[in-house]
Structure 1
Amino acid sequence: MHTVVRSFSGKGAKELFDLLEKNKPDVEKTLRSVKGLVSYTLVRSADGGFSVTVCNDKAGTDESIQKARDWIAKNAASTGVAAPKVTEGSVVLHVK
């Protein structure tokens, strides 16, 4: 499995997470369409938030990054949020 964490902070990050929360059904639909999706978690933090996406392979996390980027461009460009800090890697342990 492969995981990607996308962290948003600074200008527009709180506004982005307000929009994501208001549009949870659409966000969920978008992420559920990712091939090989294992799990997706969206977390609000003090300075914005982050997402954690786990997929069967790197191709899935790459697809999730693109779908998230497209969703933000289409629905949240007005927030002015900067590109996220992206951290990714192979899963060592996944507990359900």
Structure 2
Amino acid sequence: AVCALPDDSRVAVVASGGLSHFIVNEAWDQEMLALLRAGDPRQLQAIPMKMLQSGNSEMLNWIATASACNHLTVKWDSYAPVYSQSHREGVGLAFMEWA
């Protein structure tokens, strides 16, 4: 739909969602961020669904956004694992801008 707009149109694609949830998996979060930065839809489609279930299902929002922006370049990103005070539970938070 966006491709059908006039060339001078400005469009923003916004998605929200964390990365790993409940049990923070920093290694998997970093791997996902690398895949998002690379912007290769085939690599994103190859992620096993079992990696996107349970607390990681919000990564689907990231994949949809990256797919919509795959013709753009990641200009900046940031990642922060946030843990609860009493457990390993928490969430991997990320921010990313394509332009």
- Specify which structure has the bigger relative contact order, considering alpha-carbon pairs within 8 angstroms and separated by 6 or more residues: 1
Question: Which structure features the higher share of strand residues?
Answer: 1
Which bracket does the TM-score occupy, shorter chain normalised?
A: 0.3 to 0.5
- Largest Rg, 1 or 2: 2
